[in-house]
Amino acid sequence: MRDIGHFIGGKNVAGTSGRSADVLMPMDGTVQGKVALASKEEMRAAVENAKAAQPGWAATNPQRRARVLMKFLDLVQQEYDSLAELLAKEHGKTVPDAKGDIQRGLEVVEFCIGAPHLLKGEFTDGAGPGIDVYSMRQPLGVVAGITPFNFPAMIPLWKIAPAISAGNAFILKPSERDPGVPMRIAELFIEAGLPEGILNVVNGDKEAVDAILDDPDIKAVGFVGSTPIAEYIYSRGCAAGKRVQCFGGAKNHMIIMPDADMDQTVDALIGAGYGSAGERCMAVSVAVPVGQQTADRLVEALIPRVESLKVGPSTDPSADFGPLVTQQALDRVKSYVDLGVEEGAKLVVDGRGFKMQGYENGYYMGGCLFDHVTPDMRIYKEEIFGPVLSVVRAETYEDALKLPNEHEYGNGVAIFTRDGDAARDFAARVQVGMVGVNVPIPVPIAYYTFGGWKGSSFGDLNQHGPDAFRFYTKTKTITSRWPSGVKDGAEFVIPTMN
């Protein structure tokens, strides 16, 4: 059994709080390790370490900082398979899915190698008589990230890479459910040449989160998780004077127009709705066919596909998806299916009774499919975060568009159609942050920004892309005039460019 502590000052250190949590293996329900839960004192030790190391790192030129990221990419490639296997065993997703988790994180690291360009300021020569004006981007200092269980490689890398390439020191508080990969990421960064103290990983629960939010030396906090926690972190962090970005829950719709390619649509829904057991903030959980004929065709095609989904252990390369992350997560998803039946939705595929032979204690559930779900039902309003797809029938395109526009979440949405005019109108009018046109999971590539609207996002700036560098830096503007251009005598009016 593994004992996982913290990574502080470039070293693995044991926890000293006396508190710990089990690290489970979702595919069989066994305990594979213990992870320390940090006290406020342990978090403070990490912050002091980061604070001492950060000025030297900030003084390192951006090109040399970028070389550390380049070396890190090489090291990860050498351990790609072992990292994916570790991730799968702690999270429950299949190994191929775990590799995708890692890869999407590495793509942001690749983008951040361009930090020397992304950190450039502006310059105006001769803005006034003998006056030059220029700006520069400077790091904030010590910053922190609080990341979720469902992407234990991708989301930490989305936050670490831009923060450290911009010259900050970073404190990562990953999910205590699957801490193994974040800890290994920190070790690999040190091997790549990152100075000790620039990246610290402190494992913990709410006590560690509150310590981050209350620490005066932490200047910015990024979070990904549920909307209630996002609201809590955003309000408490902002009250403490920090820069905060928080990404919360989602209820992602896919609009299916009558002219859509039904085979393509069904393939997209199966992958986007049931991949990773639905434990994705970008999972499609609501299918909205337009017109009764479209709806009937869609449900008829979906039923056998959902029934034939292969659920298996994380190590089974042929499995479509694996177990959920914990027994509590499994119980929660099943309770939503129970609720949907009580609310009057038609459960056309029921995966609640699925058992995995030889893995009876794992947290498995088969795919579930609801038809005739209505917008007043809780299974439509709330995020289920499991392998459950709801079909909400819409009579017209306008009825379909109204659903994502009026939902409290606005993370991702998609439309499937062959009509360019309908797609263009939808992209312009839908009130959601990320839109796919015949793309079921519209996660932007690394050099665009990722972020939802409404109850899915709190803060002014998004993740990765140029917004990440704006979030992790502050702009300083200098107005300069040298003695040869200075007039004699005092001036008592505000300077102008006249």
Q: How far apart are CA 159 and CA 146, in angstroms?
A: 9
A 10 A CB-CB count for 428 gives 8
Half-sphere exposure (Cβ direction) of 381: Cα atoms closer than 13 Å = 6
**Strand runs (DSSP E) across 9-141, as ranges?**
11-13, 20-25, 30-36, 123-128, 131-139
Note whether 254 and 417 are within 8 A (CB): no
Cα separation, 151 vs 86, in Å, equals 13
Reduced to 3 states, what is the DSSP secondary structure of residue 101?
helix
Question: HSE (CB half, 13 Å, CA atoms) of 35?
Answer: 26
Burial of 369 (0-12, 13-18, 19+ CB in 10 A): buried
Q: Which of 112, 246, 281, 368 is catalytic?
A: 281
For residues 432 and 18, give the distance between their C-alpha atoms in angstroms, rounded to a whole number. Answer: 44
Quick one: which of 11, 122, 12, 119 has its CA closest to 65?
Answer: 119
Secondary structure, 3-state, 146-164: ECCCCCCCHHHHHHHHHHH
368 is catalytic: no
Here the tokens at position 339 are 């609720």
Q: Are 240 and 234 in contact (CB under 8 A)?
A: no
* Residue of 381, 362, 268 lying closest to 311 (CA atoms): 362
Buried/exposed 396-417: b ≥16 CB within 10 Å, e otherwise: ebeebbebbeebebbbbbbbbb
- 123-128 and 131-139 beta bridge pairing: antiparallel
Q: Among residues 161, 243, 206, which one has the least CA distance to residue 21?
A: 206
Just list the catalytic residues: 281
